[in-house]
Copies of this chain bind each other. A is one copy, B any other.
Amino acid sequence: MATGLRIKTAAELRTSYLRQEMFPTIFCDGCGIGNVLNYTLWAIDEVGLDLDRTVFVSGIGCSSRLPGYINADGLHTTHGRALAFASGVKAANPDLTVIVFTGDGDGAGIGGNHLLHTIRRNMDITVILVNNFIYGMTGGQSAPTTPDGGFTTTTPYGNIEHPMDVCELAKALGAPYVARWPVVSPVQPVKSIAEGIRKRGFALIEMLTPCPTAYGRYNGLKALEQIWRWYREQTVLIDEWEWIEQFGSPEERERLRGKMKIGIFQDTERETFEDRWAALVARVKL
């Protein structure tokens, strides 16, 4: 790996960061959620987080099972509500690092309003949103991210709803750090998650993650090799995307269709809820 990070081995991760009694994971074979865990642990290792002072919060879904595997404080909450619980943890004890794992359904479907307002308040929370285009845990129903025409058990004739772009939304809401990466290669996600954790303020890292069992099965991508390849082929770096949009040939532009932009969407600074609250307390405390 070309990053120059001193990457812990899987065996080391197992002993330092994992609840080994929880393994093997519940994830299907070929599922990319395990990779999200990998990358997060490597990022944590890079940042040098103290797991004694880090809380992992999640909602309900395959992806929301991740905190259970990490040997740290974990709060596996109700479906869609991870950010509400996480806000409570962070507001009550701003010294803790709070990292949220959520799914596209959990975080942007039922939980969309908490996403919206947590970003608005700019809570200092890092959200790792696993987008697999579908509700995996319940067996493959359409999600707000399901592509146009995508097949799921509740869109048996193809999805007619416009899919949601969570990163564009977060960006419009002013989230200080927003990035999207497919899990298919490790380097950028690891770096990006580390940046998100370091960012003072809300950070969203959307991980495009293959779900062969549900999304793959209904969309001709059940074979692992195929679905993992799809994620490489269907994603385009923001810079390249913009270059093509500006200077590309019509054919090149046509080829962007249906693909997804990846990269860092936003990286700015903004006062956090916790800092502002602390300032308020300093001002009015008796």
Contact = CB atoms under 8 A, between A and B. Distances in A.
Interface of A: 109-113, 116-117, 120-122, 144, 157-158, 160-164, 168-169, 171-174, 270-271, 273, 276-277, 279-280, 283-284
5 contacts: A112-B112, A112-B113, A122-B162, A157-B283, A172-B173
B120 A161 contact: yes
A273 B144 contact: no
Contacts of A116: 112-113, 116, 164, 169
Q: Top 7 A-B pairs ranked by shortest CB distance?
A: A172-B172, A113-B113, A160-B276, A112-B113, A112-B116, A157-B284, A121-B161
Given A116-B164, A120-B163, 10 more contacts: A110-B113, A112-B113, A112-B116, A117-B164, A120-B161, A160-B276, A160-B280, A162-B174, A172-B172, A172-B173
Question: For A160, A164, A168, which residue has the most chain B Cβ atoms within 10 angstroms?
Answer: A160
Contacts of A171: 172
Contacts of A279: 160
Contacts of A160: 273, 276-277, 279-280
Given A173-B169, A276-B160, A284-B157, A112 B122 contact: no
Given A157-B284, A284-B157, A164 B120 contact: yes
B121 A112 contact: no
A283 B169 CA distance: 33
Given A162-B174, A169-B172, A117 B112 contact: yes
Given A169-B172, A172-B168, A172-B169, A162 B121 contact: yes
A169 B117 CA distance: 12
Nearest to A164: B120
Contacts of A172: 168-169, 171-173
A161 B160 CA distance: 36
Question: For A113, A174, A279, which residue has the most chain B Cβ atoms within 10 angstroms?
Answer: A113
Nearest to A173: B169
Contacts of A158: 280
A122 B144 CA distance: 13
Contacts of A271: 162
A178 to B, nearest CB: 12
A163 to B, nearest CB: 8
Contacts of A168: 172
A102 to B, nearest CB: 14
Given A112-B112, A122-B162, A173-B169, A144 B117 contact: yes
